Structure 1
Amino acid sequence: MKHSELTKTLVASLAVCLGVMGLGQLGQSETVFAKKTDNGKVEKFDKYKGHQVYEYTVQNKSGLKVSVLSQGGTLHGIYVPKGAKDKRNIIMSFKHTKQYYSKAAKSLYVGQQIGPVGNRIRDGKFKLDGKTVSVPTNENGNTLHSGKHGYNSVRWKGKVGTYHGNPAITLRHTFSSKYTGFPGKVKATTRYVVTDDNQVKVLMSAKSTKDTVFDPTIHAYFNLGQEKTIRDQELTMNSTQRLELNKEKVPTGNLLENKGTYDFTQPKALGSHLDHLITTKEQGFDTMFKVKPDKNDQIAKLSDPKTDRSVTFLSKRNGMVVYSGNSITKKVPFESGAGRQHAAIALEPQMLPDAVNHPSFGDVSLKAGQTKTKEITYKIDY
């Protein structure tokens, strides 16, 4: 990195630390800096609600590039190299920050960090240490994606550098219980790491002052090809069951067998699955699958036969929420073009949703003083 570029990076990162986080969420003792790296940079992206938004970018030796925005810790791009100046973004993004939060797109949570817990919590209540905890609700009396003051709602401070020798973006934010409505003052760290074997690792860590819950995810929408929908792309999952849901999409606690339309054990065009759901209320998938990681932690694979691109999803957790972009319309102006139904598919590794109310779904607790890390890995092939 040239001296002038490093200076700009340091200034930009210092600005994030000193002024753009808002809401009194930053600890004064925390610092932020950009390590010198030939593969990373920090640039001004635009402004949102009067505050500067920064774009953090890193890439590996083969040119696989990852871009993240400070607002919402949003995964803005995974760019697959086709040539020196020709890269294809395989996830959906917007040209301007405000578009991520627009009326047409805010319910889609495009690319955003979801935390401290993903998906729905029934009635916004759960038991913790024998006591009933109530958290803010934002959908039909339930809590969706941790409510209005979750991970996606804040400006994260960031830096570019390395992590275990790999190019990495590191984001940090301190959440107060008064702000989120969840127990504890939580110091959260999210790292986006790019390895030379084309893995994008997302490491989401948290440490709390009180016993609380923690099961975050990334709400990225994938379209691996050049087509305007994902109908010709193929999805496989290590899954034989899915959760039964009530009319509010909250798990009942029961499991259903994956048969026919819901069977992803063999590769088959997504369109052939979607055709059977187009007459339903959802008109596609908004489904919570129980997955079983294999010996390499693989839980799913999305591939595009036309471009020979694929993303393999690695996770140690037992859930994968699949949303096939059923409500995307032309009013959603993606950077790649106007949206349409099934323009992309969101695949969200996490513990089975509403685990706080169903102990058999898995442990999402975080004890006071303990640090936990949840990892999602996207293995990119092209």
Structure 2
Amino acid sequence: MKKGSWVKAAVASAALCLGVIGAGQVSGCNSVSADDVENGQVNKFDKYKGHQVYEYTIQNKNGLKVSVLSQGGTLHGIYVPKGPEDKRNIIMSFKHTKQYYDKNGKSLYVGQQVGPVGNRIRNGKFKIDGKTYSVPTNEKGNTLHGGPHGYNSVRWKGETGTYKGNPAITLHHTFKSKYTGFPGNVKATTRYVVTDDNKVQVLMSAQTDKDTIFDPTIHAYFNLGQEKTINNQVLTLNAPQRLDLNKEKIPTGKFINNIGKYDFSKQQPLKDHLDKMKKTKEGGFDTMFSVEPDENGQIAKLSDPKTNRSVTFQSERNGLVVFSGQSFNKKIPFESGKGHKYGAIALEPQMLPDTANHPSFGDVSLKAGKTTTKTITYQIDY
């Protein structure tokens, strides 16, 4: 079969069921696989608010598998092979869609796409070309992770196929301004791609009919090992500074040099940092680091010495939010087991938070008629 032709075969086989919704989101089939190819599949996952949720899966020749849900465009799994039939999910997930949104899971944004802008926008206000816009707020008068009608709140239409010759999941959604509250009707596309050198790439693209802002990210929580906590895993950051925050975790505009417990330039167990953070009000990290990508775009690396697994984070953007899971507890029923304090760590590449109100931080504008793509790459080694 010629390169890319299996995509057409998959869509054609989907059409034999009770119909195709949007771009390959299948109705009436329990499973739709790419013809004669094992690395692309669409399955019914469960239902959420009366709607069918689909699980899209792809894998490379090494057996590294990626799973994404149509609801929220959620990154549901990155499965590292341990044996012929034994794969370990190195990110946190839930068994049921509703658990991503219930009272225990909602505030965690587990694995979800967050956008059109990640993290917080002060007072839900920003200026574009001198005009002030107000968008819906959802946290203490501020707008967090795109607000109440952000990326994680909608059902995305999707398909499995290829992108530049690699297995890919492609999701589409059009965000209407009257629904989101942000200026512009935005056509968004997110691609999850897995390469044969074990890179998982997330390409988040958007086009708008009116000038707006755009800086989405993925809120994935990682635990690379078999232990209940990340204490013995090692995090290094290319981050000489972090942002000073007010009591609502909004940047003041000032930078602080990273020393002591905030210095991740050397390899040492996360426990060495977290033990010192226990004495703080936060009890862990919910920190906005100012990162400096190296020549390969690397901004961070998380590794587990016991299993010899690691994830290298690559991004061209200048921010990385680190949240160390201090709010996890046994009431959170993750697929891997009950939640545990410091049970996983969220690493969210993006521009520095609230850039829309701090021009010196960079540029998160999206101009009318232009297409912008933000890329996050996870290099998986095991």
Q: After TM superposition, give the deviation of residue 341 of structure 1 in Å.
A: 1.0
Q: After TM superposition, give the deviation of residue 4 of structure 1 in Å.
A: 10
What amino acid sits opposite 1:131 in the alignment? K
Q: After TM superposition, give the deviation of residue 366 of structure 1 in Å.
A: 0.3
Secondary structure of the 2:103 match is: coil
Q: Does 1:16 align with 2:21?
A: yes
For normalisation by structure 1, the TM-score amounts to: 0.93
What amino acid sits opposite 1:177 in the alignment? S
Q: After TM superposition, give the deviation of residue 17 of structure 1 in Å.
A: 2.0
Aligned length: 370
Contact 1:13-1:158 at 8 Å conserved across structures: no
Secondary structure of the 1:182 match is: coil
Number of the residue aligned with 1:162: 162
Q: After TM superposition, give the deviation of residue 66 of structure 1 in Å.
A: 0.1
C-alpha distance after superposition, 1:170-219 (max 9, x if no partner): 00000000111100000000000000000000000000000000000000
Write the distance in 1 (CA, Å) between the matches of 2:328 and 2:174. Answer: 32
Q: After TM superposition, give the deviation of residue 15 of structure 1 in Å.
A: 4.0
Number of the residue aligned with 1:30: none
What amino acid sits opposite 2:308 in the alignment? D
Number of the residue aligned with 2:254: 254
Number of the residue aligned with 1:39: 39
Write the distance in 1 (CA, Å) between the matches of 2:347 and 2:93. Answer: 15
Q: After TM superposition, give the deviation of residue 9 of structure 1 in Å.
A: 4.0
Write the distance in 1 (CA, Å) between the matches of 2:284 and 2:15. Answer: 45
Write the distance in 1 (CA, Å) between the matches of 2:255 and 2:303. Answer: 27
Write the distance in 1 (CA, Å) between the matches of 2:9 and 2:331. Answer: 41
Q: After TM superposition, give the deviation of residue 100 of structure 1 in Å.
A: 0.5
C-alpha distance after superposition, 1:37-65 (max 9, x if no partner): 43100000000000000000000000000
Gapped regions of structure 1 (runs ≥ 5): 22-32
Gapped regions of structure 2 (runs ≥ 5): 1-5, 27-31
Structure 1 segment 175-190 matched on structure 2, within 5 A:
175-190=175-190
Write the distance in 1 (CA, Å) between the matches of 2:109 and 2:220. Answer: 8
Number of the residue aligned with 1:89: 89
Number of the residue aligned with 1:54: 54
Write the distance in 1 (CA, Å) between the matches of 2:17 and 2:360. Answer: 46
Aligned-pair identity in percent equals 72
What amino acid sits opposite 1:123 in the alignment? N
Q: After TM superposition, give the deviation of residue 11 of structure 1 in Å.
A: 5.8
Secondary structure of the 2:273 match is: helix
Residues 9 and 95 of structure 1: CA distance in aligned 2, closer, same or farther (over 3 Å): farther
For normalisation by structure 2, the TM-score amounts to: 0.93
Contact 1:12-1:44 at 8 Å conserved across structures: no
Number of the residue aligned with 2:192: 192
Write the distance in 1 (CA, Å) between the matches of 2:225 and 2:284. Answer: 20
Q: Does 1:146 align with 2:146?
A: yes
What amino acid sits opposite 1:16 in the alignment? I
Contact 2:79-2:89 at 8 Å conserved across structures: yes
Residues 377 and 60 of structure 1: CA distance in aligned 2, closer, same or farther (over 3 Å): same
Q: Give RMSD over aligned pairs.
A: 2.0
Write the distance in 1 (CA, Å) between the matches of 2:215 and 2:265. Answer: 26
Number of the residue aligned with 1:310: 310
Write the distance in 2 (CA, Å) between the matches of 1:227 and 1:332. Answer: 17
Secondary structure of the 2:299 match is: strand
Write the distance in 1 (CA, Å) between the matches of 2:298 and 2:182. Answer: 31
C-alpha distance after superposition, 1:63-111 (max 9, x if no partner): 0000000000000000000111000000000000000001011000000
